[in-house]
Amino acid sequence: MLKIKRSELEKLLRQAERDYPYETCGLLLGRREGDARVVYEVFETPNANKERRRDRYEISPHDYLKAEDYALEKGLEIVGVYHSHPDHPDRPSRFDLERAFPELSYLIVSVRDGKAVSYRSWELENEAFKEEEVLVWD
Ligand SMILES: [Zn+2]
């Protein structure tokens, strides 16, 4: 289960709309509490895939380390990854699956005509994506 702070969710939705028609991306910083990954902050990262920004995203190792350092400073850790699907549903692509790691949440935002219309979160289970519940907290 993913629990995300409302103001941070809003931030990533606006980011996804701003970057339309390209994919946006970033990391979810928080803590593991029981079965849940609790997100306290989102950490925006540039999309390092310059050739296929419309349907691919990539977080550079440099930006990943930067986020990790930042999280550590705040007593948090990286608990997930978020990205957008411009004019596509909020379900993971085969490409997303190939690059996913266990123990992380993958939040995907569907953006249609520049508007964030839906989002869902996914986690790996037996090398396949399974949808997980998203709870928004204030
Ligand atoms: Zn994707």
Per residue in 13-43, pLDDT (tens digit) is 999 999 999 999 999 999 999 999 999 999 9
Q: What is the pLDDT of residues 60-94, one digit of tens each?
A: 999 999 999 999 999 999 999 999 999 999 999 99
In a domain, 97, yes or no: yes
pLDDT of residue 38: 98
Domain limits at 100?
A: 2-111
List pLDDT tens digits, range 95-137.
999 999 999 999 999 999 999 999 999 999 999 999 999 999 9
103 part of a folded domain: yes
- Centre of ligand 1 from the C-alpha of residue 109, in Å: 9
What is the 129 CA–ligand 1 centroid distance (Å)?
12
Residue 122 Cα to ligand 1 midpoint, Å, equals: 11
Centroid of ligand 1 to alpha carbon of 48 (angstroms) = 14
18: helix, strand or coil: helix
pTM beyond 0.95: yes
| Ramachandran quadrant class, 123 (left: phi over 0; alpha: psi -120 to 50; beta: rest) | beta
In a domain, 102, yes or no: yes
Whole-number average pLDDT of the chain: 97
CATH number at residue 38: 3.40.140.10
By the CB criterion, residues less than 5 angstroms from ion ligand 1 are 93, 96
Q: How many domains does the chain have?
A: 1
Indicate whether 138 belongs to any domain.
no
**Residue 85 maps to a domain:** yes
What pLDDT sits at residue 81? 98
Ligand 1 centroid distance, CA of 137 (Å): 25
